[in-house]
A and B are shown apart, each in its own frame.
Chain A
Amino acid sequence: MRAAFRYLGRGSWLSRRDPRVLILVPLLLVIGGSQMRDARQLAVLLLLAFGYYLLARIPWRSVRVQWTYLLGVIGVFALFNALITGGRAGTFIDGPTHVLLTIPPVGAELTAEGISLAASQLLRYAAYAAVGFPVAYALAPGDLAIALRRLGIGDRIAVMVELTVRFIPTLAAEFGETVDAQRVRGYDPTARGGGPITRLRRMAPIFVPVTVGSIAGAEDTIDAMDLRGFGVGRRTWSRELRFGGADWLVVGATMAIVGLATFLNLSGQSQHYLLPFLVPA
Chain B
Amino acid sequence: MNSMNSGQSDGTWSITTRVIVYAAIGAALYAVFNWTTFAIQIPGTQNVSIRPHFGLVTFFGFAFGPVAGFLVGFVGNTVGDQLAWGSAFGSWWWSVANGLAGLIAGLFPVWMASRMTSLSSRAMTAAVAGVIGTVVGFLFIWIELIIQPELGFNTILTGEYIPVIVGNSIAAAIVTPILIYAWEPLREQLGR
Contacts and interface: CB of A to CB of B under 8 A. Distances in A.
Interface string B30-44: 011001100011110
B16 A231 contact: yes
Contact of A226 (B6, B40, B154): B6
Interface residues of A, number: 79
Nearest to A208: B182
Contacts of B41: 196
Contacts of A251: none
A199 B86 contact: no
Contacts of B92: 30
Contacts of A232: 6-8
B17 A231 contact: yes
Contacts of B86: 63, 66-67, 70, 129, 132-133, 136
B75 A200 contact: no
Given A207-B175, A222-B17, A231-B16, A30 B90 contact: yes
Given A171-B28, A196-B170, A203-B52, A80 B155 contact: yes
Interface string A173-202: 001000000000000000000011101110
B50 A196 contact: yes
B113 interface: no
B186 interface: yes
A211 B28 contact: no
A15 interface: no
A168 B79 contact: yes
B152 A207 contact: no
A207 B40 CA distance: 15
A233 to B, nearest CB: 8
A212 B182 contact: yes
Given A30-B90, A132-B88, A207-B175, A1 B36 contact: yes
Contacts of A197: 170, 174
Given A3-B35, A156-B20, A222-B18, A164 B150 contact: no
Contacts of B174: 197, 200-201
Contacts of B155: 80-81, 84-85, 89
A121 B148 contact: yes
Contact of B87 (A128, A156, A168): A128
Most buried by A among B83, B85, B170: B85
Contacts of A66: 84-86
Most buried by A among B7, B17, B76, B88: B17
Contact of B79 (A165, A214, A216, A218): A165
A207 B25 CA distance: 13
Size class of the B contact interface (CB-based, 8 Å): 35 or more
B40 A199 contact: yes
A281 interface: no
A128 B90 contact: yes
B10 to A, nearest CB: 12
A163 interface: yes
B26 to A, nearest CB: 8
Interface string A1-26: 10101000000000000000000001
Given A84-B158, A135-B88, A232-B8, A211 B150 contact: no
Given A172-B32, A225-B17, A231-B16, A125 B150 contact: no
B11 interface: no
A208 B178 contact: yes
B186 A168 contact: no
A218 B21 contact: yes
B54 to A, nearest CB: 11
B3 interface: yes
A221 to B, nearest CB: 5
Interface of B: 1, 3, 5-8, 15-18, 20-25, 27-29, 31-32, 35-36, 40-43, 50, 52-53, 55-56, 59, 71, 75-76, 79, 82-90, 92, 147-152, 154-155, 158-159, 170-171, 174-175, 178-179, 182-183, 186, 190
6 contacts: A89-B151, A164-B76, A164-B79, A165-B79, A171-B29, A197-B170
For the complex of A and B, the 6 pairs showing the least CB-CB separation, nearest first, are A132-B87, A163-B24, A128-B90, A167-B28, A85-B152, A70-B85
